[in-house]
Structure 1
Amino acid sequence: MRVAIDTQPGGAAPNEDWVACTPTLAIVLDGLSTAGLDTGCRHGVPWYVAHLGSQLIAGLAGPDTSLTVGLAGALERVAALHPACDLDNPGTPSATVAILRERQGFLDHLILADSPIVLEGAREFTVLTDLRVDDVLPELRTEVERYETHTAEHRAALRRLVTAQRQTRNTSTGYWVAASSAEAAAHAVVGSTPTEDVRAAAVLSDGVSRLVTEYGMATWSEVFATLRGGGPQDLIAAVRRVEASDPTGRRWPRYKSSDDASVAFCQWR
């Protein structure tokens, strides 16, 4: 498996995405927004995704460890790295997870929350994702999207949404993300696809996939053509051009003008 990667922040704030690869593994993590609220942790989201990603790479180095077990172990080890922090705080640093691994003629995938993996087959594209978050608090999401970004009303609505989301994360009535408890791994979306059925694959944060899913400014076929022609950097640049044409979110209401964006593009000879 040959993998090309890139990650870029959405603005001046530190990048809360993380991406890495090995010859058999591609991982994208997307840190969840804190909206300026207390997290109970002195380290922050960039620290969390960097350490979770590193632990995943180490824990999944061998092909015999399942992705679920690997994620659970990584979550436990990261929690052990900052025991003085309040890991029971509902806003403790957290992230979405998307993992693709090549193993003995199959591509195993694990997805926790809305960072998708897109598989290019001979005739169609398959989007693997976990959209349970979309079913939670739709009225508060609509309120955020009512206001233009960079306004006081938008910031206040976003804080209300994030505050409410924290109470539903990693609960049976909400949605699941990587945070401080290994239990979340058991709720991930997992599966396998024969490698022979896949021409290429893209592991994405939603800061990139929205070019298709939210903005509607490209098809998956066009996304993969861009990845083959100019790589992940060109694809992220295409997202930024679209966002720059609507800086305050009038045409495409959203949580922020530009989100952190990460891509791992996988190909086989």
Structure 2
Amino acid sequence: MTMRVSLDTQPGGSNPNEDWVAGTPTLAVVLDGLSTAGLSTGCRHGVPWYVARLGGELLAALTDPDTALTDGLAEALARVAARHPECDLSNPGTPSATVAVLRQTNGALDHLVLADSPIVFDGPDGHTVVTDLRVDDVLPELRAEVERHETHTSEHREALRRLVMAQREVRNTPDGYWVAASSSEAAVHALTGTNQLSGVRSAAVMSDGVSRLVTEYGMATWTEVFATLRAGGPRELIETVRKIEATDPTGQRWPRYKSGDDAAVAFCQW
């Protein structure tokens, strides 16, 4: 069976979109660029440039079904690093991203998740969520400090800056969490697995700017998410998230890093 992929991505506000999504008859890829909080990255290109190059290299590397997902990610990371050797790739704030990949091969669905962009499988027995939440175990006190302040306030911006600075020190280290950045080593820390296609009706690959509708806002179930995807596609699902966020623009009900996060969805059907 051929995988049919519909997709959409929208920025969360006036800044450039740092999410990236693509689909082919065998692949669905979502990247979510990490916030820099206005801090130096050592790179003159920026996060949107990084996610676009990494996404393109991933598609190229994973077209061959014999290439393991982790090997393809490692190759893509190395190729992107080679594209800008003039930048300081050792900077702890170098552009980085979460990665979520779904690939169909020979009646099976292989997946890879690095950081908190989830893949959700819709099957006859319900929904299975694959995500990597190791970042949630890091620096809980600083995360709580950010959430104590309304968004768009100077206190919120300063707390977020302190959190991002501290996260950079433990990012891609054994004591922290792993994301796609300048080193290929991160690929071996991704979560991977395989589902038989016969047990999956559809699947959604998404950034956490979309999954928060269920996981953080609690304003939908996964059953409702897939109903929306079947009826109106990824665009309607993202618009649903935006409508919910518009009821709480300053993050009083749902404390968060920004009023609206960039959002990306790849909806896969057979």
Q: TM-score range by the shorter chain?
A: over 0.9
Which runs of structure 2 are paired with 1:67-82 in the superposition (5 Å)?
Answer: 67-82=69-84
Counterpart residue number, 1:31: 33
Amino acid at match of 1:124: G
Gaps of 5+ in 2: none
Counterpart residue number, 1:263: 265
Counterpart residue number, 2:133: 131
- Secondary structure at the aligned position of 1:89 is classed as coil
Matches of 1:51 and 1:120, distance apart in 2: 30
Spell out, residue by residue over 1:129-162, the C-alpha distance to the aligned partner (whole angstroms, 9 max, x if none): 0000000000000000000000000000000000
- Secondary structure at the aligned position of 2:239 is classed as helix
Amino acid at match of 1:128: V
- Secondary structure at the aligned position of 1:26 is classed as strand
Amino acid at match of 1:236: I
- Secondary structure at the aligned position of 2:160 is classed as helix
Is 1:51 aligned with 2:53? yes
Counterpart residue number, 1:172: 174
Is 1:195 aligned with 2:193? no
Amino acid at match of 1:106: A
Matches of 1:56 and 1:25, distance apart in 2: 10
Amino acid at match of 1:19: V
Matches of 1:138 and 1:256, distance apart in 2: 18
Counterpart residue number, 2:146: 144
Is 1:7 aligned with 2:16? no
Matches of 1:67 and 1:106, distance apart in 2: 14
Match of 2:67 among 60, 65, 68: 65
Counterpart residue number, 2:212: 210
Counterpart residue number, 1:115: 117
Structure 1 residue 62, shift from structure 2 partner: 1.0
Amino acid at match of 1:147: H
Structure 1 residue 123, shift from structure 2 partner: 1.9
Structure 1 residue 211, shift from structure 2 partner: 0.1
Q: TM-score, normalised by structure 2?
A: 0.99
Count of aligned pairs: 268
Amino acid at match of 2:148: R
Matches of 2:122 and 2:140, distance apart in 1: 31
Q: Which runs of 4+ in 1 moved over 4 A?
A: none
Matches of 2:56 and 2:131, distance apart in 1: 22
